[in-house]
Copies of this chain bind each other. A is one copy, B any other.
Amino acid sequence: MKQKSFAKMPCSVARAVEAIGDGWSMLVIRDLFYGAGRFEDLLEHTGIARNILASRLRKLVESGVVEKYVSSDGGKRQKYRLTDKGLDLFPVLIALMQWGDRWETGAQGPTLRMVDRERGAEVATIDVRDAQGQSVGPQDVLVQPGPGATRAIHKRFDKVFAEGLAHNHSEERTA
């Protein structure tokens, strides 16, 4: 992934992808959400090579998603954990996990369940809602220039994105 060219793009999705990093980084973030914190545990669970794990952790610290801290358990070991910015990726993790559960799972079913601590019940399927709290799908929305949009974005949106994706899905499938 050509990371460096993403940070300057005038797009929150591109910048989010840049800050998260690549697939390995996403697995590190996943394991930090699950509760891992020690380098050796991350190494064992993700299956990442030692040098790649070190570089991904360094990059995640640089982008403010992960922080190092000294834990008092087990003799003042250095550990890693998500910052507030990293913890705020929780909906991204859950959305990816649930999508994988639905589309990329074998016959045995999902390997993991995310449950709430209090009741042990699985968290609900995450969905997108409108301002009134009603579920909306991709055909119910439009993307529009926001307050930080440049002139170029305004122009492009008038041309390509004005109708949203709905019209692309009104025709027959002819794979």
Contact = CB atoms under 8 A, between A and B. Distances in A.
Contacts of A171: 69, 71-72
A103 to B, nearest CB: 5
B1 A23 contact: yes
A96 interface: yes
Contacts of A71: 168, 171
Contacts of A33: 138, 143, 165
Contacts of A3: 23
Interface of A: 1-3, 5-6, 9-19, 22-24, 26-27, 30, 32-37, 41, 44-45, 47, 64, 67-72, 79, 81-82, 85, 87-106, 108-119, 121-124, 126-131, 133, 136-138, 140-150, 153, 156, 160-165, 167-169, 171-175
Given A12-B99, A69-B174, 10 more contacts: A9-B47, A10-B111, A12-B110, A17-B96, A33-B138, A35-B142, A90-B138, A113-B143, A117-B140, A124-B133
